[in-house]
Structure 1
Amino acid sequence: MKKVIYITGIAILILLQQCKRDDRLDHIDPNAPAPAQVSSVKSQSTAGGAILTYKIPSDPNLSYVKAVYEIQPGVFREGKSSFYTDTLKLEGFGDTREYNVKLYSVGKNEKASEPLDVKITPLTPPVLVAFDDLSIEAGFGGVKIRFKNKLEANMAIVLEADTVGNGVLLPIQTFYTKTPAGIFSARGLSSTEKKFSVYLRDRWNNKSPALVKSLVPLFEQKVPKPFTAVKLPTDEYEPVEGQYPMERMWDGLVDQGIFASRHGTVLPQWFTVDLGRKVIFSRMKMHQRAPDYTYTGSNVKAFEIYGSNNPNSDGSFGNWKLLGSFKSYKPSGLPMGKVTAEDINYGFTQGEDFEFEDMTEAYRFIRFKTLETYGGGGQITISELSFWGKL
């Protein structure tokens, strides 16, 4: 019996070796002619593009359909669609004039048919649609840009300024977004009149017209650090561990520590800070936890800021005034767990800015009340907090 098994095993090995030596089966015929052209082509215009539908030729050699088109002088794009579908999407056009598109049927041997010319007329591209709702105005320490992106297209908002008064506009900041609406602010500019320009750019380098204005950034001062933690009875100020105390939020080291409240705490929760002087607030900045955690977990998503000059010793809200309700903003608009480099730069590296509206009274004490975290849990984490205004 053992001898039979042994002989059978040898036979199988010999067969396997012979299979390995056989030439590879190749079903591509290099001499096959190019496939016939597609037919019955229809075009549906879209914002900055078009969707083509067509009838695929009955040819076993067909591999895919290719479109070649010029979106800008000398700039050509290609779109491809396999023989499994009869639809091809074209995109990247920057205006609404008529364009010529060449359609090719391409065989498995890469031989292409003669081109079939198709005319398309794109609808208004996203950068021009969004430009109608673009605005720029003076803000604290800089300017504020408001936009609406109804088509939720990926685009860059490019801000330029004449910062030295020589009439030359130079880029000072670029914001990236695909969210339907938002506000971006550029800071760090002196309170003197300057000429500003803002325009939109898409990923194919199509640009909107520039919106140009002369503006005077509003004066503000940064509130000096360090601050002091005020530990009132109803506050949640105990750190989850000793290396995450409240003082981490004003040590000036964004990437070297956080405040983290205890596990198992619930929302809403709040903590109190003594700024050491009275301030008429213009804005505040919050840095989220380091890049691996940005826009996730215990980072604060929604919160309120209260001001007082005489906090109640029992920790109640009796002597506090609501100064603003805020919600964190994610430039990419991606769902939880997905972030872009621009998200990390905005939420962690640069920090999110939150503006106070119509402030007239000065306050020394701040109460930060967290309403929601990105992960939905009760623990909160903050890397750094900063405040600006009139001291």
Structure 2
Amino acid sequence: MTMRIYHLFIFGMLLAGFGCKEEKLEPLTKGGKAPGMVSNVNVDNQPGKVVLTYDIPSDPELLYIKAVYEIRDGKKMESISTFYNNFVTLEGFGNTDEREVKLYAVSRSEVSSEPVTVKVKPLTPPVMSTLASLDFSEDFGGITARFSNEDSASIAIGVLTRDENGDPVQSDMYYTSQTEGEFSVRGFDDTERWFGLFVRDRWQNYSDTVWKLLTPLFEQQLDKANFRSMKLATDANMFGSGPLTNLWNDKVQGGSSSNSTWTRTANGSGVPHWVTFDLGVTAKLSRFVEIPRGAFDELNLLYAAGDPRLFELWGATDYNPDGSFDGWTKLSEFEVVKVSGLPTGVNSNDDILRAQEGHQFKIPIDAPPVRYIRIKMLETFGNSDYFWMAELTFFGQIQ
């Protein structure tokens, strides 16, 4: 086996050195006869996949078992399992049609046995079951969709609208492997239009499209020129070079060389702690976008140190100057989730892009109109007793 790895290494070096020269890898051994066939095959039909178990032929030259099948007409697939296993998993089925699978035992010299043919009938695949669960309705600036994905499959939910000629146009694509969830699509005016949703998996199986005629709710961005910093009795102190007003000045680049691109509470603010500010108008909020510090030029601070991971947003139309939460309504709790799932200190390109786009947070549609906002910090990625942010942008309807 060591010599085999060495040969593969040399082969790779030759390809790198000569580029256009083609080499063909030889089987581990040459000659020999076909191994015996698998036997006692058992079929376990599952949602969108099938697991076959079998008895392996007793043959010292056996290398692997190969299953050949079609996931849909004309789309052939192969799945391989080593001789150490007595099962093989067939994935990628987009419907529940009955079909045949051929199982081959393959030797070290790449000689295949005669096939054993079995019939399989996958259960309802995730593209179909997720489509059946989809429900969507109008929301601020677009729609909100809810779904169930009981098999935790890696799927994409596509959102379509229609152009002036009535032709479908893709508006968004939402990727998920969650068992259930919801997402929103924004950017539309408050005129009636068609919205369609479909489901796709990584094998390019597509569901049908479900269409609805909906009218998005009116939404506008709140004017940051109206925002005002506040300091109530129980609010955290601000770090000297990161005043609260930096949170809405539309400056997100400049890094440590600039003191105008981020806001920061003082060290020792405690957990939890909060800050307060005035929107300048009373509005029924629909959503807000948070751009974290470090998204553009201090990447070592992104998803680290004082970068918020878990926080609450509170709102009020009036407040008690003693700094208590009397008269305040908790609008919701929000969590910043890294796209990659990588640990603190390790960020993927997708993590960085999401931070630069801004983390989108939806305000529950039944939340009351508010004028004053409190950010209550519960946890940062670095478990700090202070927090920082670069920018907040709010959307909704002015009352």
TM range (shorter): 0.7 to 0.9
Residue equivalent to 1:228: 228
Superposed counterparts of 1:108-187, under 5 Å: 108-162=108-162, 164-187=163-186
Instruction: Find the counterpart in structure 2 of residue 37 from structure 1.
Output: 37
Match of 1:270 among 260, 268, 274: 274
Once the 2 structures are TM-superposed, how far is the Cα of residue 58 of structure 1 from its aligned partner?
1.2
Give the aligned partner of residue 378 of structure 2.
371
Structure 1 runs not aligned, ≥5 long: 1-25
Matched AA of 1:106: V
Quote how far apart the aligned CAs of 1:45 are.
0.9
After TM superposition, the structure 1 = structure 2 runs for residues 1-391 of structure 1, keeping only pairs within 5 Å, are 28-162=28-162, 164-226=163-225, 227-239=227-239, 242=241, 244-254=242-252, 257-290=261-294, 298-318=306-326, 320-328=327-335, 330=337, 334=341, 346=354, 348-359=356-367, 361=369, 363-391=370-398
Name the CA distance, whole Å, in 2 between partners of 1:207 and 1:103.
Answer: 27
> In the TM superposition, what is the alpha-carbon distance from 1:177 to its structure 2 partner?
0.7
Q: In 2, Cα distance between the equivalents of 1:177 and 1:333?
A: 12
RMSD: 2.8
Residues 45 and 123 in structure 2, CA contact (< 8 A), matched pair in contact too: yes
Distance 2:126 2:134 in 1: 12
Range with bigger deviation, 364-373 or 120-129: 364-373
After superposition, the C-alpha distances for 1:316-350 in whole angstroms (9 at most, x for unaligned) are 223x4214122326496957558776666556524
**Alpha-carbon separation, structure 1, partners of 2:164 and 2:149:** 32
- Measure the CA separation in 2 of the matches of 1:35 and 1:379: 67
- The offset of 1:234, in angstroms, is 1.6
Asked whether the 8 Å contact 2:268–2:386 carries over to 1, the reply is yes
| Partner residue in 1 for 2:15 | none
Bigger CA drift: 381-390 or 57-66? 381-390
Letter in structure 1 aligned against 2:204? N
Query: Contact between 2:237 and 2:269, CA under 8 Å: does it hold in 1?
Result: no
Contact 1:160 1:169 in 2 (8 A): yes
TM-score normalised to structure 2 length:
0.81
Instruction: Give the whole-Å Cα distance in 2 for the aligned partners of 1:341 and 1:112.
Output: 43
Residues matched between the structures, number: 361
Secondary structure, counterpart of 1:129 in structure 2? helix
Question: In structure 2, what is the Cα distance between the partners aligned to 1:254 and 1:232?
Answer: 26
Q: Do the aligned partners of residues 264 and 323 (structure 1) sit closer, same or farther apart at CA in structure 2, a change above 3 Å counting?
A: closer
Asked which structure has the greater CA Rg, the reply is: 1
Q: Deviations over 1:78-126 (max 9, x none)?
A: 1111111111111100111112111111111222222221211111111
Between the aligned partners of 1:60 and 1:336, the Cα distance in structure 2 is 44
Residues 275, 78 of structure 1: alpha-carbon distance in 2 compared, 3 angstrom cutoff: same
Query: 1:23 maps to which residue?
Result: none
| TM-score, structure 1 normalization | 0.83
Q: 1:89 to 1:367 in 2, by over 3 A?
A: same
Matched-pair contact (CA < 8 Å) for 2:277–2:372: yes
Identity of aligned residues (%): 36
Report SS of the residue matched to 1:315: coil
SS in 1 for 2:224: coil
**1:339-386 deviation digits (Å, cap 9, x = unpaired):** 77666655652422222333454x332111123345544333333211
